[in-house]
A and B are shown apart, each in its own frame.
Chain A
Amino acid sequence: MIHFALLISRQGKVRLTKWYTPYPQKQRSKVIKEVSTLILARGPKLCNFVDWQGCRVVYKRYASLYFCMCIDPADNELETLQIIHHFVEILDRYFGNVCELDLIFNFHKAYFILDEILIAGELQESNKKAVLRLVTAQDSLVEAAKEEASSLSKIIAQATK
C-alpha cells in the first residue's frame, strides 16, 4: 500500500501531503525534508524509484512539480507510477491544463480529487470520468449551498442578533 503521497516543487516547497499510515506531526516534517532532498538531488533520465529507509519512493516529475509516493518494497513500482500519472491526468482535466498555481490556490480541491482516487493507500477509482463526475457534482452542491447561505445580509443578521 501507499504510505504517503507528497507533492513538492522543484525548489523543495511542499504543495500537498497525504498520509495513509500514521506518522506523528514531528516525523512528518522530517520525512518531507528527507524525501525531498533525496529526490531533488536526482538528475533527469534516471529511474523513478529510490530506496528510502526500508521503503521505496516512486516519483515522477511533471513540469516543475515532483509527485512522490512511498510504497513497500513488495509493492508494484510500475503500478504506483501509473497511479501518479492517473492523478495528474485527472488534475489536468479538472483544472484544464493544470499548473502549480492551481494546486497552490485550490489545495483543498486537489485533496478532494486525491481522496476520490486513493483511499487507505490503495487505488479506488480507475475511471477518470467517474472521478471527475463525482468531484464536479460535489462542487455544484457546495456552490448551491453557498449561494443561499453566505449572503452578506445573513452574516450581519447573525452577528447582530
Chain B
Amino acid sequence: MASAPPAPSPAAAPSLADTLFQRSLDDIVKSLRADPSAAGDSATVARALSEIHREIRAPDAATKAVALQKLTYISSLHFAPVASHQLAFPAIELLASPHLSHKRLAYLAASVSLHPASLSLLPLATHQLHKDLSPSASAAASHRHVSALALQLLASPAAAAAPDLAVHLANNLVPHLSRGSPRAIAAAARVIAASPSAAVPILFKPLAACLASPDPRASTAAAAAFCDLSASPADAAPFLPLAPDLYNLLTTSRSNWALIKVLKVFARLAPLESRLAARIVDPVCQLLTQSAAMSLTFECIRTVLTALPAHDAAVRLAIGKAKEFLAADDDPNLRYLGLLAVGMLGPAYASTVNDCRGVIAQSLGDADSNICREALHLMMGMVDDNNVMDIAGMLVSHAAKSDPEFANDILGAVLAACGRNVYELVADFDWYASLLADMARSLHCAQGDEIGRQLVDVGLRVHDVRPELVRSARTLLIDPALLGNHFLDPVLSAASWISGEYVDFIKDPVEVVEALLQPRTSLLPMSVRAVYILAVFKVITFCFSVYVERLDDSSKAVNALSDWLAVDQTVSAERKVAPGSGDEQVIGPSTVEKDPFSHESILYIVNLIQTTVSPLVECNEVEVQERAHNLIGFVHLVREIQELKERKVADDEKHSPVKELVKTMRTVFCQELGPVSDNAQQNVAPPDGLVLNENLVEFADILSEDDTTPSTLIFFCPHSRHSAETRDEPAVSMGSSSLSEHRKRHGLFYLPTGKAEDEPNDYPHANDPLPPASNETAIDDKLKTVEPVFPGKKSKSTKSRPKVVKLDGEDFLSSMMANVNIPKEDPLSGAVRGVFLGRDANPSSSQNVSGIMSEGMLNKMGTNESSCQWIENIDTDLGGHLTSSSRTSKHRNRDNEKGTDPPESNGKESRKHKSSSRSGHRQGKHKHR
C-alpha cells in the first residue's frame, strides 16, 4: 500500500513548492469524489497519501496542520488504512502550537487516532495536556476553548485507558470539576474507570459533589458519569452512599436526560437495599403517570419491572403503560419496547403475560423482524405444560407463512422448548411425534439435524410413542418430494432408522421396503443410504422370521401348507403378544392376499431388494458397500428357504440350521438400544494404578471445555429386551457371544454390571456411583421416570403421560453451571469504598458497609443535608467499626470448607459428595412439583 511511511530520504523532503501549492482539504475531497473507482485502494488515495506524508514533515505549522487535517479525513472515513501512529505523532507535535485552529485540528486527530495500541505515544502529550488544563492568565477567552479541547481528549477512550496519564493529570481535573464543567465530569469518570486506585482518592469526592450542583448541566453530567461507573461489570454497592443526592435529583430535576440516568443508577442500587426500593417507588410512579416523554416513561417501566418487582401497585401501573406501548399501532418503536417490557416481567406475573398473548401472537406477523423475534421470545417464555400443544401448534403453522429465516427461528425455538430437560413439557408424545413430522415437512425447514435427533431420542426414551413414531416415519419415508431436500437428510435418516428398529409396529412392511428402496433414494448422501439399507435389512429379517415361524407352525399342523387361514390365526395370536400392535392387525380372509408375511410378498420384497441393492455392492463408499453385501447375502439365504418351500420338502433336519440362522439374525436386531447419559464415562472409577492425567495436565483446559459442552450425539448401549427371554438359548449366545468375549477381555472399559441386569429399566448402571449396598435408593434417585405432572387437571387429560427414560446427570451439568458463581471484587469498588472509609483501597465486606451506610443514608434522605458532609460523618462513624471482615477472607474460608482436604479425598468420596448434592437437587425439584 502506498500509505507505508517512506524512510526520510532527501528526495521526499518537503519543498517550498509543496508548501506553496499545497492542496487543501476541499481539493482532496473533490478529487476523491471525482474518482470513479471504489474508495479504498485507488490511485487517487495513494497519491493524496504520498503527498500528505511529505507535507506532514514540514517545519511550518500551517502546512503540517492542513496535511494532518487531510490525513484525519482519509483515516476517519476509512478510505484507506492509516496506521494510527502516523496520525498520532504529528498530532501530538501540533498540540503545542499556539494557534487555536492548529490545536483544534491536532486534538481532533489525536482523539480519532489514539487508541490503546498507540498508548506509547501518549506520555509525549502529558506535558502539553498539563499545560492546557492548568489555568493561565493569558488569552482567557481562547484558553477556555483550549482546556475544553484537552478535557475532550482526556475523555476519549484511548487517553482514559492510559493509567499514567490519569495519575499525572488527576489533580489538574479538580479545579475544572469544582467549576462543574460537564467535560471535566466526563473526563473524571473515564479517568476513574481507567485507574481507580490512583484517581478515586483525588477525584471521587469532587465528582460526587457535582451531583448536588445547582447547575443542571453539572448534575446531569454527574448522573451520567455515575451511571457509567456503576454499569454492569462494576459493583454498584459502593455507590449506595450517593443515594441521598440521587434521590434529590430524582424528585427535583426537570431534565429528562438526568432523570433517565438517575433511574438507571437506582435500578442497580435498589436490589442491594430493600428500604431504598420502598423509598423511590413513589417518585418513580409519579414520573410514570405524569411524564409525557416516552423515553422517560419507558425508563420508569424498566426500573419498576427490574428493580421494584415487590411493589405490586407500581408493577400494575407499569404493566398498564407497557400495554399502551403494545397498542401503539403507528409506532413500531413503541411496540418493540412494549414487547421488551412485557419480557421483563417475572414469573409472578405470568398470567399478565398470558393476557397479552393475542397481541404477541399478532406481533409474530409484524413486518419488522425485530418485533417478530421479540414476540417469539415472549411466546417461548409463556410455554408451560398446559399450553405447549396450543402454542407449538400455532407456531409451527405460523412458520409455514413466515420468511425462511424466521420460520427456522420458530422451528428451532419450538424444538428447544419441547426438548428442554428431556421433554419435560411434553405430555402427549403421540402429538409430539406427529408435530416433529409436520415440522420436517414445513416449507423452509432447515432444522433437520435437531428434528432427526429428537425423533430418535424420543423413540429411545419413550416406549409408548413407538407405534405413532413409526407411523410418522412412514409418512416421511413414502413422500418422494422430501428426498431432494438436503436439509431433511438427517430426518429421513432418523425415520428410516426408526422404521428398522421398531419394525414390529409397521403395519405394511412391503410398503416401507418400497419406500426405502424407491429410485429417488439415489439423491441421498451415502451416509444416509447406509442407514436406509440397514433399515431394509431389519425389515426383511423381521418379515422373514415371522414367515419362518408360520412355516414352523404350519408344518406341525395337520394340513400343512395349504391352510392359510390356520396360519393367519396363529400369526394373529402370535402378534397379539407383541406389545401395542395386536389391536391394529385385523386379520380376516380379505387380508390374505395383502398379508405382508405371505410367500408372495416375501418373494416380492426379495426380488425388489435384489434389483435395487445389487448395484450398490459395487459402491465405492465402504459403509454402503458393506451393508449392501450383507443384505444381498441374506437375500440369497432367504431364497434358499423359498426354494425349499416351493419343493414342499418338509425336511426338518435340512430346515433347522437355516431357521436357526434366521432367528439368530432376528435376535441380533432385537437387542434394545437405550439412551446413555453423556457423562456416563465420568462415573466409571479408574482402576488402581492407572495414571491417566500425568503427561496431559497441560491439555486440561482444552479437555474440560469439551467435557462441559453437552453432546448432542446419542449413544447406544445394548440392552436385552425382556421379550428376548422367549428366544432360545443358542441364539442369544450366538448373538452376544462375541460381545461377551469382548467384555471379558476388555472388562476394564465396560460399565459395571449389577444383578438386576435383566430388568427393563437398568440403564442407570452405566453411571452407578454408589456402592451396591445402597443400590435401591440410588436407583430411585438416578432413574427419574417422569410421572404425570398435572395434579389438578387429570380429568381433562384423556391419557396419562408415558414414562420417559431419564438418566442421572443429564441436567446435572446445567445445574452445576448455574451454581458456578465467581465472586467479583473489582478494583473500582474497592477504591471507592476506600474513599468513603477514609483509607486507601481496602476491600472490605460490601454487605457490611452498605448495611451500615444505608442505615444513616435513609435517615439523611429526608433532610437535605449535603452528602459530602454526610460521607465524612460516615468516615468517622466507621473508623473503628470495620476491622477485618473482608469478603475475600470469608470466601476463602468457605472454599476451605468446601474442598474437604483435596489431597486425601479419593475419587470415590468426591463422587459421593457430588451425587448426594445432586440427589438433594432432585428432591427439591420433586417437592416443588
Cβ A82 vs Cβ B145 within 8 A: no
Question: What residues of chain A lie closer than 8 Å to B73, measured between beta carbons?
Answer: 107-108
Cβ A23 vs Cβ B115 within 8 A: yes
Cβ B104 vs Cβ A13 within 8 A: no
Cβ A47 vs Cβ B264 within 8 A: no
Of the candidate stretches B328-336, B536-544, B586-594, B881-889, the one touching chain A is B328-336
A65 at the interface (CB under 8 A from B): no
Of the candidate stretches B363-371, B559-567, B724-732, the one touching chain A is B363-371
Cβ B332 vs Cβ A46 within 8 A: yes
Question: What residues of chain A lie closer than 8 Å to B232, measured between beta carbons?
Answer: 74
Interface size for chain A: under 10, 10 to 19, 20 to 34, or 35 or more residues? 35 or more
Which residue of the partner chain, among B78, B145, B332, contacts A28 with CB atoms under 8 Å?
B78
B186 at the interface (CB under 8 A from A): yes
Which residue of the partner chain, among A51, A105, A123, contacts B26 with CB atoms under 8 Å?
A105
Cβ B69 vs Cβ A47 within 8 A: no
Within 8 A of B (CB), among A104-161: 104-105, 107-108, 111-112, 115, 119-126, 137-138, 141-142, 145-146, 149-150, 155-156, 158-160
Cβ B145 vs Cβ A122 within 8 A: no
Interchain Cβ contacts under 8 Å between A and B, 6 examples: A21-B157, A45-B367, A124-B217, A142-B104, A145-B101, A155-B20
Question: What residues of chain A lie closer than 8 Å to B333, measured between beta carbons?
Answer: 47-49, 77-78, 81
- Residue from the set A107, A122, A156 with the largest chain B CB neighbour count within 10 Å: A122
Cβ B141 vs Cβ A15 within 8 A: no
A44, closest chain B residue (CB): B367
B164 at the interface (CB under 8 A from A): no
A1-B231, A141-B100, A145-B99 as given contacts; A45 in contact with B332, CB under 8 Å: yes
Bound complex: CA A24 to CA B83 (Å): 11
Cβ A13 vs Cβ B39 within 8 A: yes
A25-B81, A25-B115, A74-B264 as given contacts; A119 in contact with B182, CB under 8 Å: yes
Beyond A22-B116, A142-B99, 10 additional contacts (C-beta under 8 Å) are A76-B295, A78-B298, A79-B257, A105-B26, A108-B69, A119-B155, A123-B220, A156-B20, A159-B16, A159-B60
Please encode chain B, from 1 to 32, with 1 for each CB lying within 8 Å of some chain A CB and 0 for all others. 00000000000000010011000011001000
Which residue of the partner chain, among B101, B220, B228, contacts A126 with CB atoms under 8 Å?
B220
Please encode chain A, from 1 to 25, with 1 for each CB lying within 8 Å of some chain B CB and 0 for all others. 1000000000001111101111111
Which residue of the partner chain, among A46, A105, A138, contacts B29 with CB atoms under 8 Å?
A105
Within 8 A of A (CB), among B168-199: 182-183, 186-187, 189-190
A50 at the interface (CB under 8 A from B): yes
Cβ A124 vs Cβ B77 within 8 A: no
Question: What residues of chain B lie closer than 8 Å to A158, measured between beta carbons?
Answer: 60
Residues of B within 8 A of A (CB): 16, 19-20, 25-26, 29, 33, 39, 60, 62, 69, 72-73, 76-78, 81-84, 99-101, 104-105, 108, 111-112, 115-117, 141-142, 145, 151-152, 155-158, 160-161, 182-183, 186-187, 189-190, 217, 220-221, 224-225, 227-228, 231-232, 255-257, 260, 264, 293-295, 298-299, 332-333, 335-337, 367-368, 370-371
Cβ B336 vs Cβ A119 within 8 A: no
Cβ A141 vs Cβ B141 within 8 A: yes
- Residue from the set B69, B100, B151, B189 with the largest chain A CB neighbour count within 10 Å: B100
Bound complex: CA A76 to CA B261 (Å): 9
Bound complex: CA A72 to CA B230 (Å): 14
Please encode chain A, from 43 to 61, with 1 for each CB lying within 8 Å of some chain B CB and 0 for all others. 1011111110000000000
A32 at the interface (CB under 8 A from B): yes
Cβ A79 vs Cβ B78 within 8 A: no
Q: Compute the total of residue contacts between A and B using a CB distance below 8 Å.
A: 173
Cβ B16 vs Cβ A19 within 8 A: no
* B453 → chain A closest CB, angstroms: 28
A29 at the interface (CB under 8 A from B): yes
- Residue from the set A115, A120, A141 with the largest chain B CB neighbour count within 10 Å: A120
Cβ A46 vs Cβ B368 within 8 A: yes
* A158 → chain B closest CB, angstroms: 6
Bound complex: CA A16 to CA B738 (Å): 73
Cβ A20 vs Cβ B224 within 8 A: no
* A115 → chain B closest CB, angstroms: 6
Bound complex: CA A115 to CA B16 (Å): 35
Which residue of the partner chain, among A1, A15, A21, A115, contacts B77 with CB atoms under 8 Å?
A15
Bound complex: CA A82 to CA B256 (Å): 11
Bound complex: CA A53 to CA B664 (Å): 57
* B230 → chain A closest CB, angstroms: 11
Question: What residues of chain B lie closer than 8 Å to A79, measured between beta carbons?
Answer: 256-257, 260, 295, 299
Bound complex: CA A77 to CA B77 (Å): 26
Bound complex: CA A131 to CA B734 (Å): 91
Cβ A78 vs Cβ B295 within 8 A: yes
Cβ B39 vs Cβ A49 within 8 A: no
Cβ B370 vs Cβ A32 within 8 A: no
Question: What residues of chain A lie closer than 8 Å to B155, measured between beta carbons?
Answer: 119-120
* A56 → chain B closest CB, angstroms: 10
Bound complex: CA A21 to CA B116 (Å): 10
Cβ A111 vs Cβ B108 within 8 A: yes
A115, closest chain B residue (CB): B152
Question: What residues of chain A lie closer than 8 Å to B299, measured between beta carbons?
Answer: 76, 79
Bound complex: CA A156 to CA B161 (Å): 43
Question: What residues of chain A lie closer than 8 Å to B142, measured between beta carbons?
Answer: 141
A15, closest chain B residue (CB): B77
Question: What residues of chain A lie closer than 8 Å to B104, measured between beta carbons?
Answer: 108, 112, 138, 142
B17, closest chain A residue (CB): A159
A78-B337, A79-B260, A159-B19 as given contacts; A108 in contact with B72, CB under 8 Å: yes
* A9 → chain B closest CB, angstroms: 11
* A82 → chain B closest CB, angstroms: 6
Question: What residues of chain A lie closer than 8 Å to B221, measured between beta carbons?
Answer: 122, 124
* A83 → chain B closest CB, angstroms: 9
Question: What residues of chain A lie closer than 8 Å to B257, measured between beta carbons?
Answer: 79, 123, 126
Cβ A49 vs Cβ B370 within 8 A: yes
Which residue of the partner chain, among B72, B183, B368, contacts A119 with CB atoms under 8 Å?
B183
Cβ A119 vs Cβ B16 within 8 A: no
Question: What residues of chain A lie closer than 8 Å to B62, measured between beta carbons?
Answer: 149-150, 155
Bound complex: CA A13 to CA B29 (Å): 13
Question: What residues of chain A lie closer than 8 Å to B152, measured between beta carbons?
Answer: 115, 119
Question: What residues of chain B lie closer than 8 Å to A122, measured between beta carbons?
Answer: 186, 221, 224-225, 227-228
B105, closest chain A residue (CB): A108
* B274 → chain A closest CB, angstroms: 22
Cβ A137 vs Cβ B145 within 8 A: yes
Cβ B99 vs Cβ A149 within 8 A: yes
Bound complex: CA A46 to CA B156 (Å): 33
Cβ B108 vs Cβ A108 within 8 A: yes
Question: What residues of chain A lie closer than 8 Å to B371, measured between beta carbons?
Answer: 47
A22-B116, A23-B115, A124-B183 as given contacts; A78 in contact with B294, CB under 8 Å: yes
* A69 → chain B closest CB, angstroms: 14
Cβ B161 vs Cβ A22 within 8 A: yes
Bound complex: CA A138 to CA B156 (Å): 20
